[in-house]
Structure 1
Amino acid sequence: MQNHVNQIEYDLKNSVREAISIADYLNRMESLNSFLRKEYKNDSDYYSAYNNFMENETIQYYYTAQSIQCVTICTENETIVNGTYFVNDKDVKDEEWYKNFVASGREYMVCAFFEDGSSGDYIQKGRHIVVFRKLNYFGGNDIIMLDLDYSQIQKDVTRICGRNNCCLCNDDGEIIVSSGGIDNADKPFEGEEYIDKKGTLYEKDIEIYGEELKIFMVDKESSFFSMMKEKKFILLAIYIFNLILPSIVLYFIYRSINDRLFAISENIELIKKDKYAQIIIPPSKDELGEIIQSYNLMVSRIRELIETVFKNKEREQELIIAKKQAELHALQSQINPHFLFNALESIRMHSLIKNEGETAQVLEDFSVLLRENIHWNSDTVTLEHECRNAQRYLELQKYRFGDRLNFSIRLQDECKNIEIPKFCIITFVENACVHGIEKKMEGGSVSVIVSRDDDLLYFEIMDSGKGMTEKELEELMEKIDNADISYIEKTNKSIGIVNTIIRLKQYYGEKLLVDINSSIDEGTEICIVVHYGETEQNEGYDR
Structure 2
Amino acid sequence: MMKDDQKVTQVRKTVKCLNSIINKLHSNLNNRKIKNKTVLLYVFCVLVPVLVTNIVVIGNILGASSKERKENIDNIANSVAHDISSSLENAVYVTYDIYAGKSIRNFLDTNYKNDIEYFRAYNGVFENYIFYASSKHLISDITLYSDNKSMINGGRFYRIDTIQNQNWYKEFVKANVDLLIYPYYNDSIYINHTNRMLSVIRKLNYIEFSNIEKIVKLDLNYGKISEAIDSSAFDTTVYVCYQNKIIFSNDPSDKGIKKDYEDISKIANMKIQNKKSYSIYGFDFDIYLKDYRYDYTSILVNKFWLIIGLFLADAIIPAIMLTLFSSSITKRILMLGKYMKMIKGEQFDLIPTTEGKDEIGELLDDYNLMATRMKNLIEYEYKSKLEQQELHLARQQAELQALYSQINPHFIFNVLESIRMHSVIKCEYETSHMVESLAKLMRKSAQWGSDLITIEQELEFTKDYLSLQKYRFGDGFNYKFRIQENCNNYLIPSLVLVTFVENSCVHGFNREGHFGTIFVKVYEENFYLFIEIEDTGIGMDEEQVRSLEKSLNEASIDSLQNSASLGMLNACVRLKKYCGNQVKITIESEEHEGTCVIIAILLENLRRK
TM-score by length of 1: 0.38
| Structure ID, larger Rg | 2
Name whichever structure is richer in helix by fraction: 2
TM-score by length of 2: 0.34
